[in-house]
Amino acid sequence: MDEALFYDWNAWKTGKFRLPVGIVERDIHAKALRHLKEKEILVLLGLRQTGKSTLAFQLIDHLLKEKVSSDRIFYFSFDDLSLRQQLSASHASFMKTVERYLGEEVGAINEPLYLFIDEVQKLPGFVEYVKSLYDLKYPIKWVLIGSASLELRAQVKESLAGRVLNLAVSPFSEREIFDALGFAPPDKKEIWKLFLTGNVPDRKKLMKLEAGLLPYKARMQRVFEDCLVFGSLPAVVLAPDATKKAELLKSYKETYLDQDIRNLVKEDKLWVYQRVMELLAGRVGDLLNYSNIASELEVTVDTIKRYCILLEKTFILKNLTTYSRNVRNEILKTPKIYFTDLGIRNSLLSLNSLSQIERLGQMGMALENMMLERMDTAIRQLEVGETRLHYWRTKTKEEVDIVVETPEHLLPVEVKSDRRVQGKHLKGLRSFLEKEKEQVGILVGRFDTADILEDAKNRIYLMPYWML
């Protein structure tokens, strides 16, 4: 490979490495550092442009501060065509390249090497090569970084079973957005911890938690509303204005179709794939009806199912299964769909303002999608164990938007865009609590303040969206 390029990538070897000023420490940073100390292969996966490469360089910076010799740290990116062409001829030439810059044979060293491989999905078969070296027990800590590639996920699952630690790199959380914009973030961990562990607050505690967040309220609302429109991909968050944000999201869609999907879908069917994305964007929070979409596009149901699987496996979509005491029913019943990032979803529909979303009657689905993202983030941050998210719907069409299932309890959550509580908002929650013999539920809305509705059986928390 080109030497100048190698030293550009590995600037720490010439003493020129510096992280950019103002770089955001991700919520998963501490977990990534723990994984870096373990023997298994660390795999960083996620949507394009969520900061996976930046996280890799943050890990490298940590190693250098821990006095790991710069000679022992290597970074390669398979974005480089010449490197891919070199390694396509023989994967074994990769280790020869490492040994050349290391100055000794890998089999003869005692101190561990740290090998960071970016865009690893772009070189077919390389994951199997890594597996073969891992099984030889070389003193190498592998960190593989890849965008949302179906082939890479399949390779990792099949080739590295039992040898890998997966870490998902998601769009920015609220805390990370505050950090990126240079503001002190609000701490909502205590709120989420109380609800997710079942140790719910009484009225006095709830008032105190709300009071603690009031100084941040106006900024939290602005951040939330911006995310409702443009999502929270790092580059989009940091873009200077709405026009630039919209341009970045449009470019994102084109890059995704061109680089992630073009090799998986026939050229003459790319338009169908894009139309499926657009149709699903208008069905956030709805049950996924393959037949309706197939009929509208005049293609087979199997085609729609395949494309929906691709969208899920490439992290664009998230499917929510129904809650049932019968696990088989959870799998067989129709899922509801959400987007991993609302900005991508809105860009597909050419929605560029909150007023558009409000005028088209889509505020409810946008809020529901956002709250699902917030819950996902809280569960990851708190590492609360085997916690899963579902929806709930009966044959008589009683329903709850989101059900948090932990080993100890179930927490139903209903999301509404209204500013005042109406009796119909509580119907599904109360029905769920009665049927599942639970006592606590949450109604999220655009309320002014938090409150609790209590009776002899249940306690339903009325939570303003900005508090969660």
- pLDDT tens-place values along the chain, 468 residues long: 788 899 999 999 999 999 988 899 999 999 999 999 999 999 998 888 999 999 999 999 999 999 999 999 999 999 888 898 989 888 889 999 999 999 999 888 888 999 999 988 888 888 888 888 888 889 999 999 987 555 565 666 666 666 878 899 999 999 999 999 999 999 999 999 999 888 889 999 999 999 999 999 999 999 999 999 999 999 999 999 999 999 999 999 998 888 778 878 888 788 999 999 999 999 999 999 999 999 999 999 999 999 999 898 888 999 999 998 765 554 557 899 999 999 999 999 999 999 999 999 999 999 999 999 999 999 888 877 789 999 999 888 899 999 999 988 999 999 999 999 988 999 999 999 999 999 999 999 999 999 999 888 899 999 999 999
Which one of 168, 190, 218 terminates a domain? 168
Helices of type H across 314-419: 327-332, 342-348, 354-359, 363-382
Do 405 and 284 lie in a common domain?
Answer: yes
Which one of 168, 186, 215 terminates a domain? 168
Distances (CA, A) of 299 to 271, 274, 291, 334: 12, 13, 9, 20
In a domain, 173, yes or no: no
Do 257 and 182 lie in a common domain?
Answer: yes
Give the whole-angstrom CA distance, residue 143 versus residue 149: 16
- Under 8 Å CB-to-CB from 381, ≥6 apart: which residues? 27, 173, 189, 192
Give the whole-angstrom CA distance, residue 300 versus residue 276: 12
In a domain, 49, yes or no: yes
Do 120 and 203 lie in a common domain?
Answer: no
Which residues, in sequence order, are bridge partners of residue 287? Answer: 336
In a domain, 437, yes or no: yes
Do 124 and 196 lie in a common domain?
Answer: no
Do 164 and 183 lie in a common domain?
Answer: no
Do 122 and 215 lie in a common domain?
Answer: no
Give the whole-angstrom CA distance, residue 70 versus residue 60: 9
pLDDT number for residue 328: 56
- Under 8 Å CB-to-CB from 347, ≥6 apart: which residues? 246, 249, 250, 252, 253
Which range marks the domain in which residue 219 is found?
178-467
Distances (CA, A) of 406 to 34, 38, 218, 320, 325: 25, 28, 32, 15, 13
For the chain, what is the domain count?
2
* Joined tokens for residue 416: 């509404």
Which one of 134, 168, 202 terminates a domain? 168
**Domain CATH number, residue 163:** 3.40.50.300
DSSP 8-state symbol, 12: G
Is the distance from CB of 64 to CB of 17 less than 8 angstroms? Answer: yes
Do 76 and 202 lie in a common domain?
Answer: no
Do 328 and 382 lie in a common domain?
Answer: yes
Give the whole-angstrom CA distance, residue 261 versus residue 468: 35
Do 49 and 191 lie in a common domain?
Answer: no
Do 82 and 199 lie in a common domain?
Answer: no
DSSP 8-state symbol, 335: P
Do 246 and 337 lie in a common domain?
Answer: yes
pLDDT tens column, 168-203? 999 999 999 999 999 999 999 999 999 988 888 999
